[in-house]
Structure 1
Amino acid sequence: MGHREDLLEGAKRCLLEKGFARTTARDIVRESGTNLASIGYHYGSKDTLLAEAYISIVEGISDHFDGEGQSLTGTEPGSLERFHEVWKNIIGTMRTPGSPWHLSMEVVAMGDKLPGVRDHLAKAQREGARGIIPMLMGGLEEDVPEADVDTLGKFYMTLMMGLIAQWTFDPETATDAGELTEGLRRVMEAMGGKVPPATLEESS
């Protein structure tokens, strides 16, 4: 590996051990066997490097969202069964001891102190919203319309952040996939299968 890759791997290890706020540039250099100048040359800043490292960690976790391509083949896209299957897989990554999802909560809680990280990850979150839609609704990521990213994608990311918060705060009472799916089923049942036209606008 070159210095760029070494820095990324070193930053990932530092994040998992220390989190964003406690990781220094010297920590990364020591862990990666590189030098301080390499951070600026390859990533521009420590915050950008940490953000890229976190995105890389999340991408590794997200391989499990669809059962690594195995467990979704028997469920219909857009169905409650598919909804349950995907969220079961996602929540499974939150149950793992030492799950890195707590890093998301650190950015939420300390965003003002980590502006470079926060701004970089805010942009990446949109692509996360785009990527989760095909898992639940079928199709290809590259074909997802921007309007779907702004509606379905944001809806799913809102569920994601809520679950991360619950599983970080109190795993014993956090929502599981069965409860989440039953909640959605009850909402659908209360609507009587009627879907109103999409005319709602922002009220604030």
Structure 2
Amino acid sequence: MGNREDLLAGAITCLEEKGWARSTVREIAAAAGVSHAAIGYHFGSREALLTAALIQAIDEWGTETGNALAALGAVGSYEAFWDETVRSYTTHRPMWRATIDALLQAEHNPALRTQLSDGQRQGREGIAAQLLGIDESAVEEKDARTIGAVQSALISGVLMQHLLDPDTAPTGAEVVAGLRALAALTAPHPADDRSPTPSPPTRPADG
């Protein structure tokens, strides 16, 4: 690998082992087996390198999940997607923990926030493409802002539950069952065609 690829691999290792805040330039360079100067040359800053590494790790997770679903063939379904996602909360726990860490850091780092926002937009398109079974370049804006954005929010919310209390966090089947129940709540109620019962005529008072 070249220095750039070595740095990305080293940064991913540090993110998984130490998290965002504690991954120093010295430790990343040591994990990559390159000099400190290579970080500035290839990425400009520690934050830019860690962001690129985090996005690459998430992309790799997406590819892994897509391949797992493709292997299921006709059995593949939205529930299967969630089964794979929930499984990844355990197998890729360090990566997901680093994602939360990065989001907290972004609150006080405008440049990092911009970089993560760009990654989030790309992630919405990737998720929508995966669920729709189409190429990412064919995803329409409305699908990215509905299917992609909502699914991204669901992944983040269920992730938080698994990080905090995996024993009681929902399974893939429970997530799907919950969504169906919520969909029923959002369905419009049928119109009531019955005419209102007329009020009885008022009897004139005796004069």
TM-score > 0.5 by shorter chain: yes
Q: Which runs of 5+ in 1 are unaligned?
A: 76-80, 195-204
C-alpha distance in 1, partners of 2:187/2:53? Answer: 45
> Pairwise mapping of residues 148-159 of structure 1 onto structure 2 (< 5 A)?
148-159=143-154
Supply the AA of the counterpart residue of 1:146.
Answer: E
Question: Per the alignment, do residues 24 and 191 of structure 1 end up closer, same or farther by CA in structure 2, a change over 3 Å counting?
Answer: closer
Which one is further off, 102-111 or 153-162?
102-111
Normalising to structure 1: TM-score of the pair? 0.83
1:118 matches 2:121: no
C-alpha distance in 2, partners of 1:155/1:172? Answer: 25
1:160 matches 2:155: yes
Partner secondary structure for residue 168 of structure 2: coil
Counterpart in 2 of 1:38? Answer: 38
Q: Are the aligned partners of 2:65 and 2:85 in contact in 1 as well (CA < 8 Å)?
A: yes
Q: Are the aligned partners of 1:11 and 1:53 in contact in 2 as well (CA < 8 Å)?
A: yes
List 4+ stretches of structure 1 deviating above 6 A.
none
1:95 matches 2:96: no
Supply the AA of the counterpart residue of 1:56.
Answer: Q
Normalising to structure 2: TM-score of the pair? 0.82
1:47-82 Cα distance to aligned partner (Å, 9 max, x none): 0000111112112222232315212x315xxxxx72
1:73-110 Cα distance to aligned partner (Å, 9 max, x none): 315xxxxx722111111111012274421112112333
Supply the AA of the counterpart residue of 2:71.
Answer: Q
1:187 matches 2:187: no
1:137-187 Cα distance to aligned partner (Å, 9 max, x none): 232221111121112211111101101111111111112111111112223
C-alpha distance in 2, partners of 1:129/1:98? Answer: 21
1:56 matches 2:88: no
> Pairwise mapping of residues 122-137 of structure 1 onto structure 2 (< 5 A)?
122-137=117-132
C-alpha distance in 2, partners of 1:151/1:192? Answer: 17
C-alpha distance in 2, partners of 1:145/1:193? Answer: 27
C-alpha distance in 1, partners of 2:141/2:92? Answer: 36
Partner secondary structure for residue 74 of structure 2: coil
Q: Are the aligned partners of 1:11 and 1:28 in contact in 2 as well (CA < 8 Å)?
A: yes
C-alpha distance in 2, partners of 1:74/1:130? Answer: 24
Question: Per the alignment, do residues 191 and 2 of structure 1 end up closer, same or farther by CA in structure 2, a change over 3 Å counting?
Answer: closer
Question: Per the alignment, do residues 115 and 168 of structure 1 end up closer, same or farther by CA in structure 2, a change over 3 Å counting?
Answer: farther
* Percent identity over paired residues: 32
Partner secondary structure for residue 95 of structure 2: coil
C-alpha distance in 1, partners of 2:92/2:134? Answer: 33
Counterpart in 1 of 2:99? Answer: 104
Question: Per the alignment, do residues 162 and 180 of structure 1 end up closer, same or farther by CA in structure 2, a change over 3 Å counting?
Answer: same
Q: Are the aligned partners of 2:15 and 2:94 in contact in 1 as well (CA < 8 Å)?
A: no
RMSD: 2.1
* Alignment counterpart, residue 167 of structure 2, candidates 166, 172, 189: 172
Counterpart in 2 of 1:69? Answer: 70
Counterpart in 2 of 1:14? Answer: 14
